[in-house]
Amino acid sequence: MNLYDKLINRTEKISLVGLGYVGMPIAVAFAKKVEVVGFDISKDKIDLYKKGIDPTKEVGDDIISQTTVDFTSDAERLKEAKFHIVAVPTPVNADHSPNLKPVESASHTLGKQLTKGSIVVFESTVYPGVTEDICIPILEEESGLKAGVDFKVGYSPERINPGDKVHRLETIVKVVSGQDEESLDTIAKVYELVVEAGVYKADSIKVAEAAKVIENSQRDINIAFMNELSIIFNKLDIDTKSVLEAAGTKWNFLNFSPGLVGGHCIGVDPYYLTYKAEQVGYHSRIILSGRQINDEMGRYVVENLVKKLVIADVSIKSARIGILGFTFKENTPDTRNTRVIDIVEELKEYGVQPVIVDPVADEKELDEEYGLKLSGLEDLKDMDALILAVGHEQFLNLSFEQLDKLYKNVPNEEKVLIDVKSILDKKKYIASGYNYWRL
């Protein structure tokens, strides 16, 4: 009986190494079909899952409380599984170089528990070559086993979109790859258990790694183009959103919008690709240019905020400024690599400490990663300016009157409103005399 059949018959188990925004939905999905051991080094996170609490908000408390995933922070229990999926984050360092410590650490941990006949599939986003050149040697060293002989390795890039209730694991085609035809066939069959959209068999592990890293690089470049257009049109006193709506009537116009580009994928993956390109002697021009534009958008937003405050005759240093939203995107608690921090840091350069409100953000993560504290919406009082930075559902439901009450009791001409996400009725606020600006 092969490994796939043993998984189906529940005589062998799957393990998930890393139970975050990516790993948890995968674990829950597989648990409906096979036996799953869910491992994470964070005992606090495991304790929450055991209590039926989903800190990621990706799956929901109800589903977590009902799932059959066997949660543990005990690495030795990985020995119970034969099919392992590694889904740990791959961030960048301060200098934008790849930070492979999480995936290396996971490889060391898993390697110590690896048994003959196992298959290990990495889902973490990496540059081409990481799985075979870095992860496999660690697995071999720790286990004393030989890859391709005693165990097999594959790569299947994660495509989960945090906060997206439509494009989920089950509905997105899954790219899979393996060391050889046998491992590729098994990996494909296993993922087909949960991925309704089907799988795509890549020619090699490196091809699958490269496919993932260019997906988000492409989006990054397209958004950078929109951001550059926003800068140009702002100088020409033309509304960018109006231009995009007009251009969007053509059938082949790509639907992208300007904005802050953060998160664990789009704002990170291009640096993995350009890092590898540098190693083989090629200096990226388009990709790095796009990254530079997107990385500077926080400063650009603050520059325009300051201009509006000057026009409103408000002292910048003493201005009360509120920021609505801090996560990297709407309706998710994930603050990893959020570019709203660039707005906060730039305001500090002007001597301003903004009031940050985010009803969705992970407060513990915010404190540990950024040293910031959240305030409640009720704390936004007597504001000189508001920056609507993230389009959370709660903010979309705020009426004109509710937003207006957050400001000082001054003429509307002295109220500055920065609509980063372009989600408010521009005409209404301008007609009311607000100092309104959007990307």
pLDDT, residue 171, reads 86
For residue 431, name the pLDDT band (cuts at 50, 70, 90). Answer: very high
User: Considering only the top CATH level, what class is 3-202?
Assistant: alpha beta
pLDDT, residue 167, reads 67
Q: Looking at the predicted structure, is the pLDDT value of residue 193 above 70? A: yes
Residue 149 carries which DSSP code? T
Residues with a catalytic annotation lie at 265
Q: Specify whether domain 296-438 bears CATH 2.30.30.90.
A: no
Question: ∠ at Cα 348 (319, 389), nearest 5°?
Answer: 75
pLDDT, residue 337, reads 86
Task: List pLDDT tens digits, range 286-338.
Answer: 999 999 999 999 999 999 999 999 999 999 989 999 999 999 989 888 888 89
Task: List pLDDT tens digits, range 371-407.
Answer: 999 999 889 999 999 999 999 999 998 999 999 999 9
Task: List pLDDT tens digits, range 237-281.
Answer: 999 999 999 999 999 999 999 999 987 778 889 999 999 999 999
pLDDT, residue 168, reads 75
User: What's the CA dihedral at 54, 55, 56, 62 to 10 degrees?
Assistant: 20
Annotated domain spans of the chain: 3-202, 296-438
Burial class (CB in 10 A: 0-12, 13-18, 19+), 149: exposed
pLDDT, residue 170, reads 84
- Per DSSP (E only), the strands in 264-380 are 321-324, 355-357
Task: List pLDDT tens digits, range 202-214.
Answer: 999 999 999 999 9
Task: List pLDDT tens digits, range 327-368.
Answer: 998 988 888 889 999 999 999 999 999 999 999 998 888 888
- Establish whether domains 3-202 and 296-438 are of one fold: yes
CA distance 194 to 169: 8
Q: Looking at the predicted structure, is the pLDDT value of residue 234 above 90? A: yes
CA distance 421 to 301: 11
- Longest CA pairwise span in the chain (Å): 77
More confident residue, 13 or 56: 13
Task: List pLDDT tens digits, range 216-226.
Answer: 899 999 999 99
Q: Looking at the predicted structure, is the pLDDT value of residue 185 above 70? A: yes
Name the strand (E) or helix (H) holding 307.
Answer: helix 297-311
pLDDT, residue 162, reads 67
Q: Looking at the predicted structure, is the pLDDT value of residue 188 above 90? A: yes
For residue 159, name the pLDDT band (cuts at 50, 70, 90). Answer: confident
Please give the share of the chain, as a percent, with pLDDT higher than 70.
99
Task: List pLDDT tens digits, range 14-64.
Answer: 999 999 888 999 999 999 999 999 999 999 999 999 999 988 888 889 999
- Beta strands across the sheet bearing 435-438: 355-357, 321-324, 385-388, 416-419, 435-438
Residue 147 carries which DSSP code? B
pLDDT, residue 252, reads 94
- Residues 136-160, mean pLDDT to the nearest whole number: 95
- Residues 219-237, mean pLDDT to the nearest whole number: 96
